[in-house]
Amino acid sequence: MAHGTEHIEHHAHGPKTLPAVLTAPDFVAAWRTRMLVVAVAATLVSLVFFLVHDGPAHILRAYLLGFMMAFTFAGGGLCMLMLQYVSGGKWGLLLRRPLEAMARTLPVVAVLFLPIIFGAKSLYVWARYTTPTEFWQAAHQGLITEEEALTSIAKHAMLSKSSMIVEWAVIFGVFLAMMYFLQKWSVERDADPAAGSQRSYDKWRERFENLSGIGILIYVILMSVGAIVWVMSLDVTWYSSIWGLQFLVGQGFAVLALSILTVVLLSKTEPMKTLLRTTEQHDLGKFLFAFVMLNIYLTFAEFLIIWSGNLPDEIPWYLNRIRGGWWVICSMDFIFHWVVPFCLLLSRDLKRSKKKMVILTSWMIFARAFDLFWLIEPNFPDAARNLHLSGNFGILAYITVPVAILAVWAYCYLTLLMSRPLVNTNDPHLAEMLEPEHAH
């Protein structure tokens, strides 16, 4: 250590110090303003679709897509938050506050659902009538098919306007309760007088684990109910037992993409600059890759089973989504949400590059929304096996309405992200995150 320069270089290998200010940097406020501008602009453009033929119907469908995306982030954020509490690990501590902020938007998402309750009759066949007699009358008048009448009557216990409200109340009630305790304890954990001691670490770890373990199970069951009632039942005659799991993985796909996007964008300045190490970014990239694989695995398995069975009560769902021009959307969906992320995430350098991961994760969020478009729109008789734009400009609402909803959601998310330090300090993993990268 004879020379000064050597001395400095040597020191770079020691542990880093935790930045003094742990709250989100000021530019997050600028992003928030930008989101508000996007929300207003997208809403104004969306209003134009009220004037076109079939516009209002398409606005409502697009609203459902936007709601499902917001729910993906809020609910999926809650689930991923619980997952990192039970699995532990540095990646979990790194993403904890962003995931918490996503979960804390749940009240907003619960309110966002209200227009769907009011517009249920336009979206769901089963919400149009209440008694079996009314369903049969409608079937005789040719308003709905006989099969739709039969299945709506058979599934009445789960699919009716009153059940829909009860399901909404239970799903969001339980999620909000879980979110309330998780976010409350998270603040109390940092304020613990015994912070930094093994006793404090164990106490909080156990408390979070006890709620999160059972919480994940409850979440998966209730989220499956939500995915079935809100999206699968758009075609009341069709069913798939893998549906809930497929949505769960879709949530993991989008939530992880958004979390990585958040931490990488925040890492331009302190405190995330110090906290985000290439090692953890690389690990998260690998985790994201796993979700990309699992997502295509489930969706393809569903397709292969139904294609092999080729039964008249299952296969029309796919035919509605492949024939009449929909094969273009179907192929693009496959390329967007599997081929592109799969091929790119194979690269180690890409997973370790901040700039490239920002582009890829943004792309993946778009791909998830595109996938939902393919799932939602062909359910409706005017669109099934008939993808067309002429005389159907309302379909463009699928671009503007989800953007408006997600911008509003992002505004809430960023507000909540700014309200707390970006990292939980009373956690033993924090010391590991400040270690130089070679000491693993």
Partner 1 sequence: MPPREGTYGLLAEFNTPSELVHATQMARREGYRRMECYTPYPVEEAAEALHFHKTRVPLLCLMGGVMGLTTAFLMETWINVYAYPLNIGGRPLFSWPAFIIPAYEWTILFSGLSAAFGMLALNGLPQLYHPVFNAPNFRNGATTDKFFLCLEAHDPKFSLTESRAFLEQFSPASVVEVDH
Residue ranges in contact with partner 1 by CB under 8 A? 2, 6, 9-10, 13-14, 300, 303-304, 307-308, 310, 346, 348, 436-439
Nearest distance in Å: CB 325, partner 1: 20
Would you say 2 or 157 has its CB closer to partner 1? Answer: 2
Closest CA to 58 of 426, 382, 424, 411: 382
Would you say 90 or 96 has its CB closer to partner 1? Answer: 90
What is residue 217's DSSP assignment?
A: H
Q: Do residues 95 and 428 lie in contact, with contact meaning Cβ atoms separated by under 8 Å? A: no
Nearest distance in Å: CB 355, partner 1: 20
Q: In angstroms, rounded to a whole number, what is the distance separating the alpha carbons of residues 32 and 27? A: 9
Would you say 14 or 381 has its CB closer to partner 1? Answer: 14
Tokens 């459902």 belong to 64
Would you say 221 or 431 has its CB closer to partner 1? Answer: 431
Nearest distance in Å: CB 14, partner 1: 7
Nearest distance in Å: CB 404, partner 1: 37
Nearest distance in Å: CB 381, partner 1: 27
Would you say 382 or 437 has its CB closer to partner 1? Answer: 437
Q: Do residues 119 and 189 lie in contact, with contact meaning Cβ atoms separated by under 8 Å? A: no
Q: In angstroms, rounded to a whole number, what is the distance separating the alpha carbons of residues 371 and 250? A: 9
Nearest distance in Å: CB 291, partner 1: 17
Nearest distance in Å: CB 264, partner 1: 20
Task: Please give the distance of CA 207 from its chain centroid, rounded to a whole number.
Answer: 26
Closest CA to 104 of 423, 412, 421, 424: 412
Q: In angstroms, rounded to a whole number, what is the distance separating the alpha carbons of residues 184 and 191? A: 11
Would you say 207 or 282 has its CB closer to partner 1? Answer: 282
Would you say 8 or 191 has its CB closer to partner 1? Answer: 8
Q: Is 88 left (phi over 0), alpha (psi -120 to 50) or beta?
A: left
Q: Is 12 left (phi over 0), alpha (psi -120 to 50) or beta?
A: alpha
DSSP annotation string for 276-300: --HHHHHHHHHHHHHHHHHHHHHHH
Closest CA to 250 of 60, 56, 63, 65: 65
Tokens 């769907």 belong to 116
Nearest distance in Å: CB 213, partner 1: 32
Would you say 27 or 300 has its CB closer to partner 1? Answer: 300
CA-CA distances (angstroms) from residue 118 to 43, 161, 170?
A: 19, 10, 18
